[in-house]
Chains A and B, each alone.
Chain A
């Protein structure tokens, strides 16, 4: 017997009042245990999908099921499987950190004793235990984000949905949140996130769907997606500029300054041959990096292609 998908969307449509079409028949499956990214430009429909799954947005048509439970027919069973971390802060600014988490546990039916144990565990894990009695509106932006994650996890949902979880969060905190999300995913929680940081999606997620203008235009695993990149651009930090650029013409070299060189490799070329060609001219490569995030490069190309086809 196959386990049901964590999330299954079938022909999901949404037209807002005023005739704005946000979703044009979205089909999407997220496997149990997946770490899934939903990417797309602003207004593509990501937040509408999350809104419909969390029932804050009413769909115009289609079906949603969570771990096999239809959201319309079995809302009680479906909703208790979901934990939501929304984009905007949406907790009571006048309540304490601990009270907010305890209330959330109550809405999901957790008895008080069990809720207290869970609240302590997640507030500790997210570094908020020392702030448990603080009024929530006095927290910093990063703490508020972590509070929303603790709140979403207190009923230990099997599906955690995060809408731009690291927006406006500093790098150090972002990295620690990534580690935390990796950990709970490894423990079995299916995670869906939307993000504008493509580095985040590439680093965390195994599966990516790209949505544009209310349609899914790509839905595959990260490795397959990156394989679609026909060329990659690199910036090399070199000991000196190569004397004979014509020898490197296959790599489309551009000398940026004395110490750096930009090259473009297609899928038939490899870095070992490039380094050998540079070595032959006495040029040492000290370090290198992708010119742009690979996913970002692909993302922009796909959106351009989708725009041209439309």
Chain B
């Protein structure tokens, strides 16, 4: 591609702005988030500042325990009138950020619809239903149907591991398992292969099967999937559908599924 295509990100001034990040920020540095003055500290993104202030910005690939990734684009907000991903955009003093205009919610709905038709997401038959962020965010943005034509990709399930299934049909390519296994578990068991619409999650073993890895229930990567792609065996439907996390409250109030799960465990 030509550099032409990077005008939006590489236009005049943006690199200078990036460098001016280093300009010392006072304690009072703040952004205007949906009209509310929200403080932030050096190095925080808009998402960080919003989360700290208790403002929910829909997201899927973002998990505050990991370096921002910016692939799902569901957290797109407007910053001084221009769109940007809240999870990767550094907060800068006096930014005017809008998180939930009708235009943004429409864009999010379309992004969600794209994710739904790209894979094979059958909520009523999915063990993750009610605990799935994809489903919960879809409800939150008012998505009533997948709208676009389904791609119906052929993606075999990997059930080779004694303790896990990987149902690639539900993978949304957020790379949280890739990042967790590489950066926290030090195992590097997952990777992304292919290109474009043929991009796919692969397992890092000569056979390509999870059963031939040392993936373990104690791995961080086993606990970060925001959808129902990485599932534990032996414990399906422990909690009936209808009583699950997002069955009772919207995601904007209870937050990310995995964070909530950890909260549950620490309470128990």
Q: Do A and B come from one complex?
A: no
Interface residues of A (CB under 8 A from B): none
